[in-house]
Amino acid sequence: MADYKHPETIALHGGTYRSDPATTAVAVPIYQTTSYQFKDAKTAANLFGLKEFGNIYTRIMNPTCNVLEERVAALEGGVAACAVGSGQAATAMCIQNLAQAGDNIVASTDLYGGTVNLFKNTLRQQGIEVRFADPADPKNFEKLTDEKTRAYYGETLPNPYLRVFPIKEVSDIGRKHGIPLVMDNTAAPVICKPLEHGAAIVLHSLTKFIGGHGTSIGGIVVDGGNFDWIKNRKRQPLLNEPDQSYGGAIWTDAVPVLTGANIPFIIRFRVVLLRDTGAPLAPFNAWQIIQGLETVGLRMKQHCSNAEKVITFLETQKKVKNVIYPTNHQGEIKERAKKYLSGGNGALVGADLGTAEAGAKFIDNLKMLYHVANIGDARSLAIHPASTTHSQLSPEEQLAAGVTPGYVRLSIGIEHPDDIIADIKQALAA
């Protein structure tokens, strides 16, 4: 596998795929198949017994998905990855691969709303407690840790606050205790590589910037291969105790022998959780997302440079009370943006228009920007969270989440910046 350094190159050439082994086709084929013919009975037995790796059934692996997995793993500087049906599935299964009933994890308070629902309600119903720590002070993670804490969880660039997460600070605390940091890097592909700052696992909603064209839902989990899972075996029982569904295999012992790599996390994720929960990414969606991935480096540059121009414009507007952006914070929070983001500060921009009426009216008057509950599309998008995504929360809860009544969230696309600004300008004037 060639060891390319630049994300633009990795997005096109990362991983082992060079051309289709059957036809020499250069573009990645869609392997739209459920199953694979075994060479012989012995090979089949070996595949099922994990004595050798290969294709068995598309619920667990697929060659089109494999190209995507290898490339995203390379893009993030990880060792291996597993694609799933959505970003939500990636988050849920990531936690289920580390924690079981009676365990807890410590998660940032700055998270995507869907993740908060999963953590506060569904995981709790399954017996996994999620404790929430304000990442403003990384020590808050340590304060909530006990002997049953199995993971720390954060988002690189969470909206609406857009405070960059203290990746190294929290991962250092975790590593001291044998606790891996899981980072949702959905909003910052290419511009941040959490594994380089100590995270053990990175996940993405592929639906957003990596897919980039608003066509397909998908998720992926990348194993950094950089975590000592057996330093304290009791800390990570799911990976260190015999797995009855695989003849008593202990993943931390078996996987390095089988694969030559320190990736028990992602192997168990695939062969146990993907097998049992059945949430794979469809090959056609993997193919769509690969088309997006191939230009993600270029698009992120344009997203970020357009966002900077939009901010410069918004800051001159009297109707805009506050402009929220990673580098608009002060002190330590601003320093984190400088430390962890490179090549741009992201596409997400918040504009506080003062009142809920002003926020809603602005959205209604946009002509080019789409009014959608999404981020990361090549097109510019907008939403008024107080009346939509956060409308189930009380006014106090909205404020705690950073959603002021007049807050408008913009996901700046890759159109010409003059056209984006012209649309925002006319909507503000109206």
Q: Residues 309-348: x/- map of binding to ligand PLP (CB under 6 A)?
A: ----------------------------------------
The burial of 75, by beta-carbon neighbours within 10 Å (0-12 exposed, 13-18 middle, 19 or more buried), is given as buried
Q: From the CB of 114, what's the least distance to ligand PLP, in Å?
A: 5
Q: Give the residue closest to ligand PLP by C-beta.
A: 87
Q: Is 219 in the site for ligand PLP (CB under 6 A)?
A: yes
Q: Specify the stretch interacting with ligand PLP by CB under 6 A; choose among 13-21, 183-191, 225-233, 403-411.
A: 183-191
Give the one residue of 64, 145, 171, 186 binding ligand PLP; rule: CB under 6 A.
186
Give the one residue of 44, 60, 116, 217 binding ligand PLP; rule: CB under 6 A.
217
- In the chain, DSSP finds a helix count (H) and a strand count (E) of 18, 12
Give the one residue of 17, 31, 112, 362 binding ligand PLP; rule: CB under 6 A.
112
Strands 149-155 and 181-184: parallel
Q: Specify the stretch interacting with ligand PLP by CB under 6 A; choose among 82-90, 168-176, 194-202, 339-347.
A: 82-90
Q: Is 207 in the site for ligand PLP (CB under 6 A)?
A: yes
Q: Is 256 in the site for ligand PLP (CB under 6 A)?
A: no
Q: Is 184 in the site for ligand PLP (CB under 6 A)?
A: yes
Closest to ligand PLP by CB, 145 vs 186, is 186
Q: What would the two tokens of residue 333 be?
A: 């929070």
Give the span between the Cα atoms of 177 and 133, in whole angstroms.
17
Q: From the CB of 166, what's the least distance to ligand PLP, in Å?
A: 17
The burial of 188, by beta-carbon neighbours within 10 Å (0-12 exposed, 13-18 middle, 19 or more buried), is given as buried
Q: What would the two tokens of residue 210 be?
A: 């990596």
Give the span between the Cα atoms of 408 and 324, in whole angstroms.
10
Give the span between the Cα atoms of 170 and 376, in whole angstroms.
26
Q: From the CB of 217, what's the least distance to ligand PLP, in Å?
A: 5
Cβ neighbours of residue 25 under 8 Å, at least 6 residues apart? Answer: 19
Residue 103, amino acid:
D
Cross-sheet strand order for the sheet of 322-324:
322-324, 348-352, 407-411, 381-383, 370-371
Q: Is 114 in the site for ligand PLP (CB under 6 A)?
A: yes
Q: Is 185 in the site for ligand PLP (CB under 6 A)?
A: no
Give the span between the Cα atoms of 81 and 68, in whole angstroms.
9
Q: Specify the stretch interacting with ligand PLP by CB under 6 A; choose among 5-13, 85-93, 347-355, 358-366.
A: 85-93
Q: Is 109 in the site for ligand PLP (CB under 6 A)?
A: no
Give the span between the Cα atoms of 207 and 424, in whole angstroms.
25
Give the one residue of 58, 66, 86, 252 binding ligand PLP; rule: CB under 6 A.
86
Q: Is 377 in the site for ligand PLP (CB under 6 A)?
A: no
**Which residues of the shown chain bind ligand PLP in the complex (CB under 6 A)?**
86-88, 112, 114, 155, 184, 186-187, 205, 207, 217, 219, 375
